[in-house]
Structure formats: structure tokens, C-alpha cells
Amino acid sequence: MQKRTVIQAAVAAALLAASGLGLAQDNKFKIGLILPMTGPFASTGKQVEAAARLYMAQNGDTVAGKKVELIVKDDASTPDVTKRIAQELVVNEKVNVLAGFGLTPLALATAPIATQSKTPLVVMAAATSSITQASPYIVRTSFTLPQVSVAIADWAPKNGIKKVVTLVTDYGPGIDAEKYFKERLQFNGGQVVESLRVPLRNPDFAPFLQKVRDDKPDAVFTFVPSGAGAALMKQFAERGLDKAGIKLIGTGDVTDDDILNSMGDVALGVVTSHHYSAAHNSPANKKFVEAFMKANNNLRPNFMAVGGYDGMRLIYEALKKTRGAGGGDALLAAMKGQIFESPRGPIYIDAQTRDVVQNVYIRKVEKKDGQLYNVEFDTIKDVKDPGKSK
């Protein structure tokens, strides 16, 4: 016990010392990008890294007289590993910013490192509402599940969906999605008749979908993390839920642009709410999608890529604003309140919550030129994370 306290104190001292050294460094500005690059969530790492590299290719690697260096590390989506890597990056590499964070538990495990070392931590992917409350040094450019779950709970009852079963992945973002969808649907006169939760690791959706089928709801509302949607959609069709007249609705994570095209026609007509679609109709997005696909062997960018791209912009602009001087606190202050047009539409970083405020779109999967896309047909403007007011 005592030994542990001594070690913890030593680590804390090293972290704090490291934070002061940021200034004394040479002309480098280091960004430690920690992502799942292997394992079941590797697509998130691939998308975020590709977008970060694209941003740097388009905007150069010299900012305010500093040479920007991106240090990419694979945490294999293991929280202890993410935390250890972050500690090494702060103490040994003296990174100026920590970034990435592909899953909620990885961001939460690392939050104390950001606090102790006064290093801004930019969450580019993870989306549980409470993450930004885990450290005053956390800023987010992705989204939150409460932010996107409410809109589909408003849309559903107006479109004949009153009786719903929820089916979510059993951890932070899924529990947020379940709660905010249910509350809002009930407020709108609808009903959640059963709430099912699927394990994060090695999910088998089949027994859960069988339960949904037996419940005979108008729809199943789902949240699954990026990458898991194809398996869910396949089993949804195999169990004959579509034939039984049960609709599938959800947050846009399930019809993720990274895998949407491989899902086939079972995805056609699926309505979801989310903050980004590769089909978003704006000149800024067209330019982004084209450049991303060109640089990545025709890979379509998804919402993870946009979180990474905008996160890099946030860091670049903060570096410009502070003119390359000042430590973590100055950078953090320069990140708060930023406002700009993202490929997803206009966004801003709420200075109080350090969370992203953005439009949420209702979208339907349609075929365009033989390819499946989430086509946006309604917009709810400037949505704040409703999780922050509770």
C-alpha cells in the first residue's frame, strides 16, 4: 500500500515535471495519437490516422514556426495499454497534446494522465457523454450518444414507430443511447417494451435478435460501435426480422460509412440519426471525401475520420493562436470556443463543457450510382450534448 503510494507520487511528479518541459523543447510540436490499430476496432484507428495524415498533408507540418510531429501508437483497444502509452508519451517524448481514443474506456483510463501533466487530450472518436467530465484537459471533436439519440426518438413516433425494443452494446455509449432514446420516446408517447444489451467483446447478436422477433415491436433501436454494424445487419436479415415487418433504426454508428457498402440491400431504407455522412451535401465535404479516398486507395471516410480531421484542425488552430508559445494550459484555452466549418457542417467547441456542438441529421440508406449511402433528409441544428444538463 505504502509502496504503491510512493510509486504513484513519483509518477505524478514525473508527469508534472514533463509538462513544464514542453516549453524548453526544441522547435518541435509533438502530437501523441493513440488508437486501436489492431484487433476488432482497428477500422477506427485506420480512419482517424488516415484523416490526421490528410489534414497534415493539406496544411503542412510547420505551424507558428514549429515542426509538427505525429507519433502514432497502437493500444489494441486495451485501457491499461492506452494509459501506459500516454504516460510514456508525456514523460519520455514530451508530447504537447494527446489525441485519438477509439473507445470510451480508453479515454477514461487516460484522463488522469492529462490532468496530472496538464496536457490537452483531444478525444477524436469516443462518445460517452461523461468523458469530458473525467478531466478539465479533455476536449472532444467526435460526438456524444445522447446528442444523436434524441433526434431519432423524435422522428420514430411521427413515422408509425411507437413500440420499440432497444438493443445496445453493453458499455458507456450504449447505455447513454439506451437511456436518452427511451426517455425521449416515452416523452413522445411511445414505449420501450424491452432493453437488451450485447457484450462489447465478441458479440453474438443472434439470441438477442430472436428475442426482438418474439417481442414483435414496430422497430428495434440499436447502438453498436463502429465496425459491428455489418454483423448485426446480417443476422437481422437471417433471423427474418425484416420479413416480420420489424424496422431497424438507430444512431448512425450501425450504418457506418466504412462498412455500409458491404452490407448489401438489407441496409436499404434503414433510418438513423448522426452527425456525419460521407454523402453530406456541401462543397467542404465533397472536397474532403474526394481527397480522403484519393489518399487511401478509395476507402470512404466515416464519422471517425471526420473526428480525427477536425481534431487536427483544433490543434493546429490552437498552436497558431498561441504562436507556438505557452504550455498545455494556453493550448487548452485556445481550443475552447473554436468555431469552424467541418466536412460534417458547422461545429463549435463549447468553452464551458469542452464538448462539440453540431448539427444532427436524420438519414436514410439509399442507393446512388450503385453504392449505398446515408442520405440526409432532415437537420436539427446546433445540438449540444443533452448529457451535460443532468
Please identify which residue in 37, 99, 103, 335 interacts with ligand DHB, judged by CB under 6 A: 103
**Residue in 22, 173, 301, 387 binding ligand DHB, rule: CB under 6 A:** 173
CA distances 56 to 43, 49, 83, 185, 331, Å, are: 20, 11, 26, 42, 18
Q: Looking at 32-40, 88-96, 120-128, 158-166, which segment touches ligand DHB (CB under 6 A)?
A: 120-128
272 binds ligand DHB (CB under 6 A): no
Buried b (16+ CB within 10 A) or exposed e, 149-171: bbbbbbbbbeeebebbbbbbbeb
Number of shown-chain residues binding ligand DHB (CB under 6 A): 10
CA distances to 233, 253, 263, 301, 364 from 268, rounded to whole Å, are 11, 15, 9, 20, 8
Q: Which stretch binds ligand DHB (CB under 6 A): 123-131, 150-158, 241-249, 307-315?
A: 123-131
> Which CB atom, from 109 or from 126, has the smaller least distance to ligand DHB?
126
The identity of residue 223, as a single letter, is F
The pattern of x and - marking residues 252 through 271 that bind ligand DHB according to CB under 6 A reads -x------------------
Best CA proximity match to 200, nearest among 80, 86, 102 = 102
Tell me if 366 sits within 8 A of 373, measured CB to CB.
Answer: yes
**127 lies in the binding site for ligand DHB (CB under 6 A):** yes
- Contact segment (CB under 6 A) with ligand DHB among 62-70, 126-134, 152-160, 375-383 equals 126-134
Cβ closest to ligand DHB, residue 44 vs residue 255: 44
DSSP count for the chain of H helices, then E strands: 12, 15
Kindly state whether residue 126 participates in binding ligand DHB, applying the rule CB under 6 A: yes
Q: d(Cα 372, Cα 263) in Å, to the nearest integer? A: 9
44 makes contact with ligand DHB (CB under 6 A): yes
Task: Find the binding residues for ligand DHB in span 351-390 (CB under 6 A).
Answer: none
- Count Cβ atoms below 10 Å from residue 265 Cβ, excluding itself: 10
Q: Residue 104 interacts with ligand DHB (CB under 6 A)?
A: yes
Q: How far is CA 130 from CA 106, 140, 353, 377, 388, in A?
A: 13, 11, 10, 30, 8
Q: Is 128 in the site for ligand DHB (CB under 6 A)?
A: yes
Choice between 126 and 305, CB closer to ligand DHB: 126
Least distance to ligand DHB from the beta carbon of 385, Å? 13
CA–CA distances in Å: residue 323 to residues 31, 62, 80, 132, 318: 16, 12, 35, 26, 8
Interatomic CA distance for residues 388 and 390, integer angstroms = 6
226 binds ligand DHB (CB under 6 A): yes
- Residue nearest ligand DHB, CB atom distance: 225
Among the listed ranges 121-129, 319-327, 328-336, 363-371, the one in contact with ligand DHB (CB under 6 A) is: 121-129
- Nearer to ligand DHB among residue 228 and residue 372 (C-beta): 228
Contacting positions for ligand DHB (CB under 6 A) = 44, 103-104, 126-128, 173, 225-226, 253
